[in-house]
């Protein structure tokens, strides 16, 4: 974590500065902050519809500048307008990121995504996304789509504004996950199906022929990005003792209301104690591969997975009073001594709580 900041953080800050230099785009950034605090009819609290951003861009006469087109510029203004409220940059430990990205999402409830630590957290990946290494970071943004597509009404979306490394630096790209589903696994499957079904003409035939590859690759990219986002939605993710900043408030000024965002980003070391524990476990496994009896001394290895629990007084008799708690369980079942050696305190270690089945009931 020492040395120069992550290059994706520099790219995000540079893009935000360019947007802020244009008076019209600066107005859009302020409007995004206002909508976050004051809400938009029909959308959940704290969720800013991208359609509202496009409408305001047209109202003030914004035209694409350094961005490739109106749509790309709108996506940037939407994500960066939300991110600037807190400017949290979650720098993942590379080993922890690899483990979390490989964790299957499964049938977890959509509602968990409302626990993101801030409006549009920036995930920083030292080694890139495993399924798409050129993606070295991304923002995670909830969005409200009013509908309009055949058979698809108003619904939530999760958008990843990815920063893709290329020959000329980093370029933004948007990945969309439709959330009109019972759980996250179904959301991924629906999104993949629509990606093919909504194409037309020759493109549809080409996509259909390439469907196995498209599903494999895009499903992997969506699943890995989603799992990394879920890591931030835990009750107490390992953030190195750094607390996320609350969003900058909307304050009254002469002529209206305005947001005054923090000047500098806040880097949150994400999962570095878990990463250290995983490395210690691997070192012990290599150093002590087996005991004289043949019984393995090293920590037992199993698939990483997400655990969902009910917590809350009275939840046994009345499930509606329960609160879901999410916990990531790493692939390596690390011993308590390794956790303490990695910097965990007894208060950090997992408590014994009652497990919920795969779905909320």
Highest mean pLDDT, choosing among 49-53, 213-217, 306-310: 49-53
| Domain of 337, in residue numbers | 296-341
- Using the CB atoms, write b or e for 246-255: b if 16+ within 10 Å: ebbebeeeee
pLDDT at 261: 95
Burial of 102 (0-12, 13-18, 19+ CB in 10 A): middle
Range from 9-18, 55-64, 75-84 carrying the lowest mean pLDDT: 55-64
Percent of the chain at pLDDT > 70 equals 75
319 and 242 within one domain: no
Per-residue pLDDT, averaged over 34-49, amounts to: 94
pLDDT of residue 61: 93
- Kindly state whether residues 311 and 195 are assigned to the same domain: no
What is the pLDDT at residue 328?
75
Domain final residue, candidates 259, 284, 307: 259
pLDDT-derived band at 69 (thresholds 50, 70, 90) equals: confident
In a domain, 348, yes or no: no
70 assigned to some structural domain: yes
Confidence class for position 125, pLDDT limits 50, 70, 90: very high
Give me the number of domains the chain comprises.
2
Tokens found for residue 53 = 């951003």
**What is the model's pTM?**
0.83
d(CA 346, CA 330) in angstroms, rounded, equals 18
On whether residue 107 sits in a domain, the answer given is yes
Q: Do 300 and 251 share a structural domain? A: no
Helix, strand or coil for residue 294? coil
- Could you tell me if residue 161 is inside a domain? yes
Q: Is the pLDDT of residue 214 over 60?
A: no
The burial class, CB within 10 Å (0-12 / 13-18 / 19+), for 30 is buried
CB 354 within 8 A of CB 309: yes
One domain, residues 308 and 188: no
Q: Do 164 and 215 fall into the same domain?
A: yes
- C-alpha 126/C-alpha 239 separation (Å) is 16
Please give the full DSSP string across 210-244, using - where no structure is assigned: THHHHHHHHHHHHHHHHHHHHHHTSSS---TTPPP
| 304 occurs within a structural domain | yes
- Domain for residue 81, yes or no? yes
Residue 199 reports pLDDT greater than 50: no
Q: Are 12 and 68 in a shared domain? A: yes
Residue 327 inside a domain? The answer is yes
Over range 238-243, report the average pLDDT: 91
Residues 52 and 105 in one domain: yes
> Would you place residue 349 in the very low, low, confident or very high pLDDT band (cuts 50, 70, 90)?
low
Task: Let me know whether 312 and 223 are in one domain.
Answer: no
pLDDT confidence bin for 212, thresholds 50/70/90: low
Residue 336 CA to residue 315 CA, distance in Å, equals 30
Residues above pLDDT 90, as percent of the chain: 50
Same domain, 25 and 163: yes
Q: What per-residue confidence (pLDDT) applies to 353?
A: 34
Least confident of 189-198, 270-279, 325-334: 325-334
Residue 278's Cβ-count burial label (10 Å; 0-12, 13-18, 19+) is buried
What pLDDT does residue 330 have? 64
Q: Is 158 within the bounds of a domain?
A: yes
* Average pLDDT value over all residues in the chain: 81
């Amino acid at each position: 974590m020492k040395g120069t900041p992550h290059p994706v953080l520099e790219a995000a800050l540079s893009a935000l500065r360019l947007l802020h230099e244009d008076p019209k785009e600066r107005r859009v950034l302020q409007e995004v902050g206002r909508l976050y605090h004051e809400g938009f009819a029909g959308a959940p609290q704290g969720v800013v519809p991208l359609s509202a951003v496009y409408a305001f861009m047209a109202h003030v006469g914004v035209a694409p500048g350094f961005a490739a087109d109106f749509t790309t510029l709108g996506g940037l203004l939407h994500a960066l307008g939300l991110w600037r409220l807190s400017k949290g940059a979650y720098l993942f430990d590379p080993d922890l990121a690899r483990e979390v990205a490989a964790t299957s999402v499964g049938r977890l409830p959509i509602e968990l995504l409302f626990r993101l630590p801030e409006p549009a957290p920036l995930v920083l990946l030292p080694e890139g996304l495993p399924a798409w290494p050129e993606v070295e970071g991304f923002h995670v943004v909830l969005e409200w789509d009013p509908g309009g597509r055949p058979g698809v009404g108003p619904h939530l979306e999760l958008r990843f504004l990815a920063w893709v490394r290329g020959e000329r630096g980093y370029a933004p790209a948007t990945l969309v996950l439709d959330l009109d589903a019972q759980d996250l696994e179904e959301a991924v499957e629906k999104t993949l199906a629509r990606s093919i079904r909504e194409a037309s003409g020759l493109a549809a035939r080409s996509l259909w022929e390439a469907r196995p590859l498209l599903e494999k690759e895009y499903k992997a990219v969506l699943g890995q990005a989603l799992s990394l986002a879920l890591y931030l939605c835990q009750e107490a993710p390992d953030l190195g003792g750094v607390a996320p900043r609350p969003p900058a408030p909307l304050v009254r000024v002469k002529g209206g209301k305005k947001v005054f965002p923090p000047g500098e980003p806040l880097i949150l070391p994400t999962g570095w104690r878990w990463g250290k524990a995983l490395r210690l476990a691997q070192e012990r496994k290599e150093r002590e591969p087996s005991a004289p009896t043949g019984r393995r001394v090293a920590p037992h290895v199993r698939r990483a997975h997400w655990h969902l629990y009910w917590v809350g007084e009275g939840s046994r008799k009345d499930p509606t009073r329960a609160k879901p708690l999410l916990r990531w369980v790493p692939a390596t079942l690390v011993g308590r001594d390794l956790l303490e050696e990695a910097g965990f305190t007894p208060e950090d270690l997992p408590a014994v709580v009652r497990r919920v089945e795969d779905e909320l009931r």
